[in-house]
Structure 1
């Protein structure tokens, strides 16, 4: 367990089922073709889980080489790598959260914490959060806000702005997002943004569905 999903724990067979039930954006639709056959080819080349898949397809030259060996198209492999790599989203920087004051950012940076990945292990339990509060001089309410923003930042598609939106909309933990109805979440967030003008991008109901699916893959490791 940890900030990211352990990709060694997701077998190729398990990923077949995930892909069959996953909402795919248009540029990923190639993965819907011949799911069983294509992923079974991976297993014949001793790729048994998603961690091994990313290692095999690490660089463009490796994708080209594996394409020749397996007969799978380069474009298919490139898209597959991109989708799987999304299980490890780039952590959000603490200083990018508009709801976190500069004084708190500086206090965290003083103890070597600049992003949500670094912060994660420090906020897992009440005891750890109390220790962080004493060490940093940050009060309990701000520590809890940081905890929830860190939790939400683990979800694919969730940048610093959308983590804040989810927090303000009441979907303030991975568990709440994972258990949400995507239509209700869409309506709630749309209404919130109309009132507060937090972001300009168009985020549709289908986007909410993908966020929820991503949250459902994460371990609920933080104690609240």
Structure 2
């Protein structure tokens, strides 16, 4: 079997090893394994949730149908869940063996792994993106979390999504519980596909500072609230609309698993 490994970088921007490493790093979190590690049957259903949520029933049907075909094939090949798939293709050698045994195509595998990384699994966002770097108090809080080994939103959600966990963090870092909970919610919003710290700050500025508020938002009301927020910054709302697309954000929020306990 001849495999064009350069195709991975052309499709995903990363080498095969880097793509696998990113998936492994995300799948190592307990909450990711609990809430995201779909069986292949669940993966097939979740493709339709992507279509109705993030994509708002628009286009991309050929791509989505291709993913459904891929997960159906993987199910027949005996793949249990996302973690099982990634473990079976963790190296180039094991990937070649998996493809030979299953008959699955290499381009289809890469498309599936890329989809998991970009659309399904939460992407790590540096915690620094949620802090005001000009505020000495906030940066002291940031350093306190860093000293605990918490440097991304996924780290913080792993160790602070439950009230009891936050109590331990508050005691260990001296960070006020109200600030910590706000940071948890910002980290939670960053689980949305293609959302990073800057978008989270804008959502919070418009009053949509929790995943539930976003999921329950009325689109017209949210557009008005966000327009008012942008105007308060002396910015034109249209400058942000291409970056912060409200409909897909609301749709995505409605399909994300709820993991934060108040």
Contact kept, 8 Å, 2:126 with 2:152, in 1: the verdict is yes
Normalising to structure 2: TM-score of the pair? 0.66
**Correspondence 1:153 to 2:190:** yes
Describe how 1:1-224 pairs up with structure 2 within 5 A. Answer: 2-4=30-32, 6=34, 9-23=37-51, 30-33=62-65, 37-58=69-90, 66-67=98-99, 70-86=102-118, 87-99=120-132, 101-182=138-219, 184-186=221-223, 188-196=225-233, 197=235, 202-203=241-242, 207-224=245-262
Question: 178-187 or 92-101, which moves further after superposition?
Answer: 178-187
Root-mean-square deviation over aligned CA pairs: 3.7
Query: Does the C-alpha gap of structure 1 residues 71 and 126 become closer, same or farther in structure 2, counting only changes over 3 Å?
Result: closer
Matched residues in 1 for 2:83 and 2:208: separation? 30
| CA deviation profile, 1:68-120 (whole Å, cap 9, x unmatched) | 55555433321211111233333222222244622221232233332222222
Normalising to structure 1: TM-score of the pair? 0.74
Matched residues in 2 for 1:71 and 1:137: separation? 55
Matched residues in 2 for 1:198 and 1:57: separation? 47
Offset of residue 154 of structure 1? 2.5
Contact kept, 8 Å, 2:35 with 2:257, in 1: the verdict is no
What number of residue pairs does the alignment pair up? 223
Residue segments in structure 1 that go unaligned for 5+ positions in a row: none
Contact kept, 8 Å, 1:8 with 1:51, in 2: the verdict is no
Say which SS state the counterpart of residue 32 (structure 2) adopts: coil
Contact kept, 8 Å, 2:162 with 2:261, in 1: the verdict is yes
Contact kept, 8 Å, 2:190 with 2:197, in 1: the verdict is yes
Matched residues in 1 for 2:236 and 2:32: separation? 27
Query: Does the C-alpha gap of structure 1 residues 39 and 90 become closer, same or farther in structure 2, counting only changes over 3 Å?
Result: closer
| CA deviation profile, 1:155-203 (whole Å, cap 9, x unmatched) | 3222111122222222222223333345654554354334324996653
Contact kept, 8 Å, 2:170 with 2:177, in 1: the verdict is yes
